[in-house]
Amino acid sequence: MAKEKPIIVIKKITVVGGGHHGGSWKVALADFMTAMMAFFLVMWLLGQSDETKKAIADYFSTPSVIEYNFSNYGVELTLEKLFLDLLNEPLKAFQSFLEPIDTTPNVLDMGSAKVVVSTLADQLGDIAKNVQVSSEGFDFDIPDTMLFLRGTSIPTAEFINIMTRLKGITAGLQDAEIFITSAMFNQTVASGQSVEADRIAKQRLDLVKNKVQSGLEHTTTDVIGRVNVKDKKGEMDPNKLIGFVKISIKQKAIKSDGTEARKIKDLFGTSKADNQVYENYVDQVTRQKREQEKSKK
């Protein structure tokens, strides 16, 4: 009798995981943890000094650097500045664009000649004359008739306003040198004597220099002044006897931290921003401000 073949039974065990129980508890937990964090932050703030509270309020109330740049320079110039920043100091660029502004921006650290010219136009407008921008810095003149009464060291009604606008350029400078030249002619003073003209020019220099010095936010910037008095014999036309206060701002070759100073570059366009380029920017900025005022109305 033939033997029966054994029956082979293959048993498959399938393990089925538990069904989805929902993730709403995760959302609830996240909300709870966020609320607890906010609660403890509020409790911590209540125990701080008034100075700390003000500093924290200023941090969250001021715009970021990128917001400041877009609103002041426009998209094209901001992107040019960002490109130069990423090429030179990528980590610093990301950090600076994320952090709010708690100090005045350093004009010399902007890297772009176009941004520098735009900043000068935005801050000073048609006050600045003979604007020149180079890789080391920039300089411009302010006619003395805008700052002082003719032939005297008595400030005009616009003196404070002009110095406030100048502060927007000089306050944030770091590792820089500000050269201030008080220039005038002998013929503009009452006596016409060089001694009196030199005395008045020094008094003018002291007023401007002290204003600039008091507005600096960093101790690494030096303010240097000098007097330039000239004799223009035979000249009687008042329009040809206008002096000026020359502001020349240069970056120090080596910064206080030992690193090499950054040069001002021109990514596109001419390599030098002359007075005509500056005047074009002044016209452009003036038109933009007028359009903004109309849109607000």
Query: What are 212-255's pLDDT values in tens digits?
Result: 999 999 999 999 999 999 988 877 787 888 999 999 999 998 88
- Does the model's pTM come out above 0.75? no
Q: Which residue spans of the chain are classified as CATH 3.30.1330.60?
A: 111-285
3-state secondary structure 157-189: CCHHHHHHHHHHHHCCCCCEEEEEEEEEEHHHC
Instruction: Decide: 248 and 181 in contact? Cβ < 8 Å.
Output: yes
Please tell me the predicted confidence (pLDDT) of residue 271: 45
In CATH, the architecture of 111-285 is: 2-Layer Sandwich (3.30)
- Reported as a single tens digit per residue, the pLDDT across 95-114 is 555 555 556 778 887 777 87
Q: How far is CA 235 from CA 148, 194, 232, in A?
A: 21, 15, 6
Please tell me the predicted confidence (pLDDT) of residue 114: 79
pLDDT band at 30 (very low <50, low <70, confident <90, very high): confident
Question: Is 284 exposed, middle or buried, given 0-12, 13-18 or 19+ CB atoms closer than 10 A?
Answer: middle
| DSSP structure class, residue 273 | B
How far from the centroid of its chain's Cα atoms is residue 52's Cα? 25
- Reported as a single tens digit per residue, the pLDDT across 37-86 is 888 877 887 778 877 776 666 655 555 555 555 555 555 555 566 666 66
